[in-house]
Amino acid sequence: MSATCIIPAYNEGKTIGNVVKVVKSHKNVSEVIVVSDGSIDDTAEVAKLNGAKVIELSENKGKGGAMNEGLKSCETEIILFLDADLIGLTDKHVADLLDPVLNGDKLMSLGVFSQGRATTDLAQRVAPYLSGQRAIKRDLLNKVSDLDVSRFGVELALTRFVENNDIEIQIVQLPDMSHVMKEEKLGVVKGFVARLKMYWEIVHYYIKNPS
């Protein structure tokens, strides 16, 4: 059994190439789909150059919407979601995320950075359920409501679904991994504003889906 890797990407030209290169070379990944979510940089070109299938959205749909577009354009039973801004991704990280779902043990795995950078390690220790690195069975994904409009609430949607349905997931440590923070991408002020927008989208999803 193989998996499709779906990478939602909004202006990630600087990092998308390496993420695609690493995950595309994994033996159990049959296809890498990068969904450029209204990007205005060279995300799509860099992703194509590194062998990804690219879906270019003319309008930004938000993270959940981009992931959903990728889901609609593949057929594998197992999906691996990765962020486009990962630092230090290796083939072993991909294997550790995929194996619990590929071997039928679990319906979802969730990757948590460890021994990466203090800032991103801490953030994920505080809120591991927000991690964007997950392998998931398509059957489970099909039951999660509002993925397409969840934006940054998508991780909350996935986590809440497994909790509400008593589905045991596999937490996977991702050693020596991090991601580029918003403040590093956009500068301190714009990065902080983007972070607030992210938290608002998460709260908005929570308010709209209280249980």
- Residues that bind ligand XDX in the complex, under the rule CB under 6 A: 63, 83, 120, 123-124, 130-132, 152, 155, 179, 181-182, 195, 198
Amino acid at 75: E
Is 132 a binding residue for ligand UDP by CB under 6 A? The answer is yes
Q: b vs e for 79-90, b when ≥16 Cβ sit within 10 Å of the residue's Cβ? A: bbbbbbbbbbbe
Q: Interface mask (CB under 6 A) for ligand UDP, residues 64-83, using x and -?
A: --x----------------x
Closest CA to 86 of 131, 56, 125: 131
The size of the interface with ligand UDP (CB under 6 A), counted in residues, is: 15
CA distance 184 to 118: 15
Q: What is the DSSP string of 129-157?
A: GG---EEEEHHHHHTSTTGGG-GGGHHHH
**Contacted by 18, from ligand UDP, ligand XDX, none: CB < 5 to 8 Å by type:** none
For 123-129, the CB contacts below 8 A with 24+ separation are 128/171, 129/155, 129/156, 129/159
**Contacted by 144, from ligand UDP, ligand XDX, none: CB < 5 to 8 Å by type:** none
Of 9, 33, 136, 169, which one interacts with ligand UDP (CB under 6 A)?
A: 9
Of 3, 17, 23, 37, which one interacts with ligand UDP (CB under 6 A)?
A: 37
Q: Write the Ramachandran bin of 168: left for phi over 0, alpha for psi from -120 to 50, otherwise beta.
A: beta
Q: Interface mask (CB under 6 A) for ligand UDP, residues 83-102, using x and -?
A: xxx-----------------
Residue ranges binding ligand UDP (CB under 6 A):
8-10, 12, 37, 60, 62-63, 66, 83-85, 132, 179, 182
